Amino acid sequence: MAPGRAVDEDLAERVKAFAASRFGARAEIVFHPQCFLTHGHFAGPDAARAAAFLDVANDPSFDALWFARGGYGSCRIAARVLPKLGESARAKTYLGYSDAGTLLAALYKQGFKRLAHGPMPIDVVREGGEAALLRALAFLIEADASGVEPNLSEAPAAAFNMTILSNVVGTAYEPDLADHVLMLEEVAEYAYRIDRSLFHITSSPLVRRIQGLRLGRCSDIPSNDPDFGMSEEEIARHWCAEAGIAYLGRADIGHDVDNRIVPFGSWRGGA
């Protein structure tokens, strides 16, 4: 289902055809009709997107809920769906990134175990995007961990788009990330906005309890006038030092076809 913006039916058919070519009958992918709705910016009104989420999450015949794309909208349905999730919803795998991070955070706060930051169907439109799809599908269908972020350790982990987590911090959906390795990525934000987001994130008392922070790729950073004077890694190191958080280096995640999968917590399996 699409919690933010819509996808078109051609994309859905392309994804299903690719999955069938690689995994045969094991890859039964169902695009909820809501994915193709349009309502201004969104893939249907808030009520329709929330209903679609619940349709999939609470249906025991589905093994996973794969977010179709990002594009803003998840926060508008969180309060509508969270109180209505049953045991079937807790047994599912949830996979996505970008704007879907709001729902991943909210589900993690509620104790859901099978959550992961990773590629979505929309990635097929990127050059080389089939590699991202293959990584996600192998994880979901075969519990194949070869596409998992290589820096994962015994410590629990979580990953988010930086702006999304910054907007979740301080809300009822902020998860407890104590002792986690937190991985953050960003796209198309000015350096000063990266700086502001990391100030907010690392100022959270809950975030300050993490084991350490890894910085994913920050791509398509617009030119600033005047130049901000610090790289994204220098910014991350600065705010980690200010907050007393260990900076652990880079992470292999980002808004690109090389985006690796980060299962939340200590879970490492697929669907």
Q: What is the pLDDT along the chain (271 residues), one digit of tens a residue?
A: 999 999 999 999 999 999 999 999 999 999 999 999 999 999 999 999 999 999 999 999 999 999 999 999 999 999 999 999 999 999 999 999 999 999 999 999 999 999 999 999 999 999 999 999 999 999 999 999 999 999 999 999 999 999 999 999 999 999 999 999 999 999 999 999 999 999 999 999 999 999 999 999 999 999 999 999 999 999 999 999 999 999 999 999 999 999 999 999 999 875 5
Three-state SS at 76: helix
Strand partners, 96: 117
pTM of the predicted model as reported, rounded to 2 decimal places: 0.97
Instruction: Please name every residue paired with 186 in a beta bridge, in sequence order, or none if there are none.
Output: 218
Q: Are strands 181-187 and 64-66 parallel, antiparallel or unpaired?
A: unpaired
How would you classify the pairing of strands 247-250 and 212-219?
A: parallel
